[in-house]
Structure 1
Amino acid sequence: MKFSIDAIDIKLLEALQDDASQSNQALAARTHISPPTCLRRVKRLRDAGLIERDIAILHADKLAETLGHGLTAVVEITLDRQGAEQQEAFEARVAPDGAVQQCYRVSPGPDFVLVVHVRDMPAYLALAQRLFTSDVNVRNVKAFFSLKRSKFEPKLLLTP
């Protein structure tokens, strides 16, 4: 059965992307619906899998005062053999690693683009050894190290 959403569902999803910690009453007021309707609709969106999970987005610059800035890299990976089985095997190896924040299969160019975050360069080298160098199917690795993050907005655009 096809799941459909309407303008109210889109307003709810947009509001939750801005702040998933707001109360049901605040969310209902923001989207101009009653609290019981809001609660029912959000449950429906969760049950349908449209809301994958709620997370806290940490303020990297404020944490850097105590933990250090860390090192973020965008890493391009090219595999020697690009069959579905080899791509799935690579994903299965890298996705569970806590340092891998994002993993994308891409085309054209490299086979994968990863966003990784580690404590420092020695930690990146350990990650590269663990995930890339030790994999005989990894042909090429190209890493780009972030000097400054000017935008981080983990939101999907739901309206034009």
Structure 2
Amino acid sequence: MDSLDDVDLRLLALLQQDASRTNQDLAAAAHVSPATCLRRVKRLVDEGFIERRVALLSPDRLGGSLTAVVEVTLDRQGAEHLQAFQQRAVADDGVQQCYRVSAGPDFVLIVVVRDMAAYHALVERLFTQDANVRNVKSFFAVERAKFSTAISF
């Protein structure tokens, strides 16, 4: 963060709120010229501060979804076993987020699927067919009180 100044931080905060702003609108909101804004945002992308720009979809408008927080404990925790499970989890479309954690389970997954049938299919793909998965504990969301992708700095 040493290479970020107040203008960079303002731009990052504004882009986290709405990345679809035009360069003109973003520059005005950040109180910089459009040329400065364009140059700064390009540098933030080039240096990896901005990984990507995406659209956040509304699960309710798309017919709903089932969200689960899933703890996964493996039987064998050697580096190759952890890596093998992680690669499979990351490749699955139903896994929205994958974290290797300590202490406790080996992984925590955030799973978002259409319904319980889709969740059962994911369970079969990722957990049941993997002889190295020792324990799975799933917590199903009944209400989404907060959802944010913003990083505070």
Q: Verify: 1:151 aligned to 2:146, yes or no.
A: yes
Contact 1:3 1:48 in 2 (8 A): no
Partner of 2:45: 46
The Cα of 1:140 is off from its aligned counterpart by 0.3
Q: Matched residue pairs, number?
A: 153
TM-score w.r.t. the length of structure 2 is: 0.95
Partner of 2:88: 93
- Runs (4+) of structure 1 exceeding 4 A deviation are none
Instruction: Structure 1: state its 5+ residue gaps.
Output: none
Q: Verify: 1:117 aligned to 2:112, yes or no.
A: yes
Deviations 1:80-123 (A, max 9, x none): 11122211111111101111000011111111000111121111
Partner of 2:10: 11
Contact 1:45 1:51 in 2 (8 A): yes
TM-score w.r.t. the length of structure 1 is: 0.91
SS in 2 for 1:95: helix
Separation in 1, partners of 2:6, 2:120: 47
Separation in 2, partners of 1:116, 1:38: 36
Partner of 2:61: 62
Separation in 1, partners of 2:140, 2:18: 30
Aligned-residue identity in percent: 61
Separation in 2, partners of 1:90, 1:60: 27
Instruction: Structure 2: state its 5+ residue gaps.
Output: none
Q: What CA RMSD, in Å, does the superposition of the two structures yield over aligned residues? A: 1.3
Separation in 2, partners of 1:21, 1:153: 17
Partner of 2:26: 27
Q: Verify: 1:137 aligned to 2:132, yes or no.
A: yes
